[in-house]
Structure 1
Amino acid sequence: MATSDQRKFLATTDWSINDLGEPSYSSDRLPAFRDGLTSNPDGYDLHLFVNVSWVPSATTEPVIEFTPSFVWWLGLITRSNETMYRTNHAGRDEEVVEIVRPNPGEYEVRVNARHLRKYLAARSMSLVIQHAHSRADDSVHEARIDLEIRTKDAAFAYTAWDAYRGPGFVAQLVGKQAVLPFASAGEHPDDLQRPERFQSFIVDIDPSTGDEVRLSCERDEANYLTPVFFDTDVLTRYRDNPDRYTVLRTDVSCHGRWAIDVDINGANLVQVWLGHLIRLPETEREHWLTHNVPPNGGITITRSVRDLAGQWVEDERPDPARLRRAKAELIEAFTGYFGESLYKQLGPADLRAFDALALCTNPTEGQSDNGVMVLSKGIVDALDVKTLRESSGADTNSPSLACLQLLVENLGADPNGLVGPLRQLQGIRSAGSAHMKGTKFTTALSAAGLNSLQPDKQFETIVDRVTMALQGLSELFRRTPPQV
C-alpha cells in the first residue's frame, strides 16, 4: 500500500484484502485476468507482500512465498530450511527471513525489520498486517463489550458477547496495523545514508615518545603509498571461507564485492598501502583495524620494484598460486611428451579446495594439516597411476610415486629433487595430517627437516619444495626428446 493511502486503509477495522495472492479470471471486467499481485478494493492500490497457500500436490505444509520485488531488491537467497539471507557489500551474510513451523499446519514468518523497512522506503509503501483473533471461555459477563482502538498506524475493534447456545463468553479482535517505511531507502540496500567514516591506522611509532602515529585512510595523495602493517590473522576469516573469498599472496578478494592488494613481508606481516584501504567497505575496515600493528620488517623488494619502481619482477616466494601454475605446466609438458595426461580430474569438492588453497594465516596445526591434505590430494593422490605405469614400464602393482621415480630415472635425471618432495608430502600427510599424530609424524617432519619450524612455516616450505619439484619435472619432459 502506498504510504499516502495509509489513512484511507485504516479508516475501517474490517479486512480490506480478499483477492491478493489469488489469480483469477472474469469475463465481466477489464482486464479479465487478475494476477493476484495487486488489488484496488477502495480506490487505492494494494500490493502483495507475502502469500501463504496450500498446494496439496507439492507438499503437506502451506507454501510461503514473497513478492519478487522484495527478493530481487535485497538479493535474497533461500536455504533448504526456508530461511532467506543476503550477502551485503562487505561480503557478509545477513539473515532476513525466518520461517518457523512448530507443528504440522502451523507456521510463523519473521522478517528482519531493518531490511523490511528499507524495502518499503524504496517502494514508498507501508506494509499492512491484518488481524483476526477469537477466544471463548467460561466467564460470565452481563453486558456486551464493544471497543475500538485507533492510532495513526493501527485500527482495531474488540467485541465480546454471550456465547450462542451455551454458557460462557466469546471475544474477537479484528483490525489492521501498518509497518512504516524508513524516511528514505538510499540508492541501494547497503546505503547507510550518512558520510563514510574513515578509520585511522598505525603507520609509525614516534621515536621520542613511543606513541603510535596514525593516519586516516581517507584519500590523500601525499600519504597514498604509506605502508600499513597487519598480523596475518587478518586473513584467517577469508582463508577459512574459500567459497566466498580468494586469498593469494598478492591480493585478497570477496567475489563480486571488493578486492585489495596485499603483500607478506619477512616479518610475516601483511603489508597494504594506506591509500588502498579505501577499497574495503567501511565495515570491513573495522576488521582490519583490529589486526593493525606497528611497522616491522619493511617492504619487500618485490613490492618495491613492482609498485614503487613500476617494473614487473617474477615473485619466487612460496605461493599456492605459483604451485597451481607449476602443476598446469607439468600437465602440458607431460601430455606433449607422452600424449596422455599425468593427472586425473579432481572431483568438484577437491577441485574447489585445491583452487582455493592458500598459505597459513596463523601457526595453528589445524590450518597446516588441512593444507597438507588438500595439497596431497591435488598433487599426489590425483596422479594417474595407470598412465605412469605404462609410460615408465613399471609392473602393475607399483604405486604412483614409485612409477614416477622410475620414469625420472629412465630419463636420466635424479629423482631425489624431483620426486623426493612429493614423497615428503605424502609421508607427512599419512603420518599425521590425516591421522592421529605420533612418533611417525615427528619422524616424518625430522626426515624432511621441518621439525624446528612452526606449522605455518612447515606448510610454506612444503609448498615451495613441491612447486620446485613440479617445475623441475616440467623442464625434464620438455628438454628430453620424446621417445620414438
Structure 2
Amino acid sequence: MNEELFRLRAQHVEITKRFINNGWIEVYRSGNDSEIEAGIYCCLVSPDNLNKYLEDRDWGIHWGSEGHPSVITHFRDGGKVTEYFRFAEEGLEPFIYPKWFTHVKERYVDVSQEFVNYFKLYEQASSKQKRSYYFIDDSGDTEEVIHVTERQVRIKLKFLNEYLAVRKMHLSLCFDFMIVTDEAGAGSAFIPKDEDFISNSFHYNHLIRVVPGIGDKPLQSWIIGKTMLKFDAAKSGKFWFDLDEDAHESFIIGYDDDGTEKLVRCDSEDYKFFTPVYFKKEVLNKYYDNPQKYEVDGFHIKSSFISLKMDNNNTDYVMVFLNDLTMLPQKEQLHWKHHNIAPQTGMGMSGAYYDTMVLGNWARDSDSVDVRFKAKYHRFNKKWFGKFGWHFYKELTGSDPQHFSALHLPSENNVRAFCEQILILVKATVDSLNEEMLVKGLSKIENEKGIAKLERFLDIRSIQIPDMITFLRNLQDLRSGMMAHRFSKSNKNCQKALTYFGLTEHNYRQVAQDIFIKSLFTLNTFSKLFLDETEEFEG
C-alpha cells in the first residue's frame, strides 16, 4: 500500500479545501474510495449554536436519523404539554437526506427542498439515483446547480454560498475517513498518533493505532470530525431575484463633436424616443442557432423569456431603438453590446420596419430577402393547397420546421455558414417537391428525379422556364457536391454548379443572397402562373 494513502494525506487536503473543487462543493459521499472507507455528510448550523457545536467533533445529526421531526411531551405549569418540533436537534438543520428502503432495496439521496425552491431549480432525472437540478436565468439559459448520484451529492458553490448568506446559517461538512491494513501495507507510515485539529472553523481528530481482534489487518488510520463553510454576512441582503435597476448597458448611438463614439445607457430619458442603435448581423447567430428556444423574424426576437423589437430587414445590420434594449436581461444586453457598431452613412430604418412597427401598417413585407422568402414560402404553399388540394412542397416534419424558421442569410462570409443555410433552403424546396402529385396521371419514367418531374409538370401545361430549371438543377448539384457528400474536385456536376454561381472563398454571403433572391423569384413565378398573384422583389 502507498504509505501516503495510509496517512490519509489526500483527505487532509480535501478537508483543508472544504471539499471544494472547480467551483463545486461535495456535500455527501458514502462508500469505499479505493481502499478507504469514506463518508461526507452535512447540516446547517445556526450562528447562535456555532461555538457550542465546535466544542467537540461529533456531527450532531447523522444520516438515517437526520433531524426527523419530533413530537415531545413535557411538563409545564403542572401539566403535560405536547409540542411538534421541525427538527429534533436544536440549532441544527438537515440539508441532505440519504434514504434506504429495505422493502425494495433501493437507495437514493434528496437535497433540501427549501434550497431547491429558493432557486426554482428544474429537475432532470434518469432515475432517483441519478438526478441534476438546473437554475434557469432571465434569458432562459440553464446552469447545473446540483448533481446527485446514489452515493454522492455535489452543489455549485456560488449558489450554496448565497443560500447560506440569505438564511444566515453555516454549513457543517462532516467527514469520516478510515483505512485498515497490516504492517506491510502501512510500512513506515505507521506511527501511532491521536491528534486533534481545532480552530474556530473545524474540529477533527486523526487517530492511528492498533486495533486488536479485527483479523489480519489490525492497523487503523482514521479521521473523523467536521469543518465549517460559514456564511458571508456582507451578502445576506442580496438575493438572486432582486432586480438591479442600474443593470443597464450603454450603447453607441453616434459621435460626439470631437469625433469619439457617443455611448448612452439604454434606459436614458434624454434619448428615449426612436433613437436607433445598430448591430452586426452576427448578433442574431445565437438565436438562429437555437430555433427550439428562439423565434426570429423581420421585426422581433421572441422566446418564453425575452421579447425584443428589432429591424431585421436590412442585409448588413440590425437596428434596435435604444430604449427597447431595456427589455433584455443584462446578460443579453452584454451580448448585444459586443456586436454594437457606430452608425454609418446609408444606415437607417427599413421601410418595412417603419411601415409595420411605427405606422402600424401590417400589409408590407420585409425588405430582407431571407425574411421575405420564408413568409412567401408559407403563404404560397397554403394558397396552393387551398386551390389544388395538395401541397406543392411537402409539409416539413420533425425538426425541419424549426430549422426552416432559423433559415437566414449568412451573417458571416465563410463556407460553414453558407453550407448550413443553403442545405436548409434546398431541403425545404428542391428536396420537398411533392413529386407524387407533380406527375400524378402522367406516365412513369424510371429513375426520374424531382426537378425532372417538375419540368414535366410544367411541360404538360406548355410552360417553359429553362432558366429556372437550370437554377434548380445547379442548386441541387451544389448541395449534393458541397454539403450532402464529401467534396471532390472530380465531381463534374458540382464544379459546374460552382461556376454557375460564381462561388469563391471570398463571396459566400453574396452568392447566398443571390440564391435567396432566385428562390424567391421561383415562388413569385409559380404564384403568378398558377395562383394569379403578382409580386416583385428586386433584391
Q: TM-score, normalised by structure 1?
A: 0.78
Moved more, 74-83 or 468-477: 74-83
- Mapped contact 2:61–2:67 kept (Cα < 8 A): no
Q: Does 1:232 align with 2:281?
A: yes
Q: Does 1:75 align with 2:121?
A: yes
Which of 392, 402, 413 pairs up with 1:352? 402
Which of 53, 59, 64 pairs up with 1:15? 59
The AA in structure 2 aligned to 1:468 is: F
**2:177 is paired with a residue of what secondary structure?**
strand
Following the alignment from structure 1 to structure 2, what is the Cα–Cα distance between the partners of residues 243 and 229?
26
- Mapped contact 1:388–1:403 kept (Cα < 8 A): yes
| Superposition deviation, residue 247 in structure 1 | 3.2
| Superposition deviation, residue 239 in structure 1 | 2.7
Q: Mapping of 1:31-50 within 5 angstroms?
A: 40-43=87-90, 46-49=93-96
The AA in structure 2 aligned to 1:401 is: I
Which of 77, 90, 98 pairs up with 1:51? 98
Which of 290, 311, 323 pairs up with 1:241? 290
| Superposition deviation, residue 471 in structure 1 | 4.1
The corresponding residue for 1:34 is none
Flag the 1:155–1:6 CA change in 2: closer, same or farther, 3 A.
farther
The AA in structure 1 aligned to 2:276 is: P
The corresponding residue for 2:339 is 291
Flag the 1:215–1:391 CA change in 2: closer, same or farther, 3 A.
farther
Q: TM-score, normalised by structure 2?
A: 0.71
**2:278 is paired with a residue of what secondary structure?**
strand
Which of 512, 515, 520 pairs up with 1:459? 512
Moved more, 465-474 or 273-282: 465-474
Following the alignment from structure 1 to structure 2, what is the Cα–Cα distance between the partners of residues 412 and 55?
80
| Superposition deviation, residue 90 in structure 1 | 3.2
The corresponding residue for 2:225 is 175
Flag the 1:159–1:288 CA change in 2: closer, same or farther, 3 A.
same
Which of 398, 407, 432 pairs up with 1:382? 432
The corresponding residue for 1:282 is 330
**Per-residue CA shift, 1:61-117, capped at 9, x if unaligned?**
x755434444453434548786654342234443434569xxxx9x65432110122
Following the alignment from structure 1 to structure 2, what is the Cα–Cα distance between the partners of residues 222 and 268?
24
The corresponding residue for 1:217 is 266
Q: Does 1:256 align with 2:313?
A: no
The AA in structure 2 aligned to 1:364 is: N
The AA in structure 2 aligned to 1:461 is: D
Q: Does 1:3 align with 2:25?
A: no
- Mapped contact 2:165–2:231 kept (Cα < 8 A): yes
**1:134 is paired with a residue of what secondary structure?**
strand
For structure 1, which runs of at least 5 residues remain unmatched after alignment? 31-37
Flag the 1:322–1:298 CA change in 2: closer, same or farther, 3 A.
closer
The corresponding residue for 2:177 is 133
The AA in structure 2 aligned to 1:350 is: D
Following the alignment from structure 1 to structure 2, what is the Cα–Cα distance between the partners of residues 65 and 271?
48
| Superposition deviation, residue 22 in structure 1 | 8.6
Which of 313, 320, 323 pairs up with 1:272? 320
The AA in structure 1 aligned to 2:46 is: T
| Superposition deviation, residue 367 in structure 1 | 0.7
Following the alignment from structure 2 to structure 1, what is the Cα–Cα distance between the partners of residues 356 and 136?
34
The AA in structure 1 aligned to 2:430 is: V
- Mapped contact 2:474–2:496 kept (Cα < 8 A): no
- Mapped contact 1:346–1:378 kept (Cα < 8 A): yes
Flag the 1:349–1:132 CA change in 2: closer, same or farther, 3 A.
same
Flag the 1:268–1:55 CA change in 2: closer, same or farther, 3 A.
farther
Following the alignment from structure 1 to structure 2, what is the Cα–Cα distance between the partners of residues 261 and 133?
58
Following the alignment from structure 1 to structure 2, what is the Cα–Cα distance between the partners of residues 173 and 452?
65
- Mapped contact 2:138–2:329 kept (Cα < 8 A): yes
Point out the structure with the larger strand share. Answer: 2
| Superposition deviation, residue 305 in structure 1 | 3.6
**Per-residue CA shift, 1:425-448, capped at 9, x if unaligned?**
323212323331646445314434
Following the alignment from structure 1 to structure 2, what is the Cα–Cα distance between the partners of residues 182 and 160?
36
Following the alignment from structure 1 to structure 2, what is the Cα–Cα distance between the partners of residues 118 and 65?
20
Following the alignment from structure 1 to structure 2, what is the Cα–Cα distance between the partners of residues 382 and 148?
73
The corresponding residue for 1:35 is none
Flag the 1:196–1:160 CA change in 2: closer, same or farther, 3 A.
same
The corresponding residue for 1:368 is 418
**Per-residue CA shift, 1:366-404, capped at 9, x if unaligned?**
111011111111222223322222165654643222222
Which of 156, 165, 173 pairs up with 1:112? 156
**2:308 is paired with a residue of what secondary structure?**
strand
The AA in structure 1 aligned to 2:89 is: D
Q: Does 1:205 align with 2:252?
A: no
**Per-residue CA shift, 1:278-323, capped at 9, x if unaligned?**
1222222222222222212321233334445454451343444443
Q: Mapping of 1:463-482 within 5 angstroms?
A: 463-479=516-532
**Per-residue CA shift, 1:165-196, capped at 9, x if unaligned?**
599864433223343445457786454x7552
- Mapped contact 2:59–2:225 kept (Cα < 8 A): yes
- Mapped contact 1:247–1:358 kept (Cα < 8 A): no
- Mapped contact 1:369–1:433 kept (Cα < 8 A): yes
| Superposition deviation, residue 127 in structure 1 | 3.4
Following the alignment from structure 1 to structure 2, what is the Cα–Cα distance between the partners of residues 392 and 5?
89
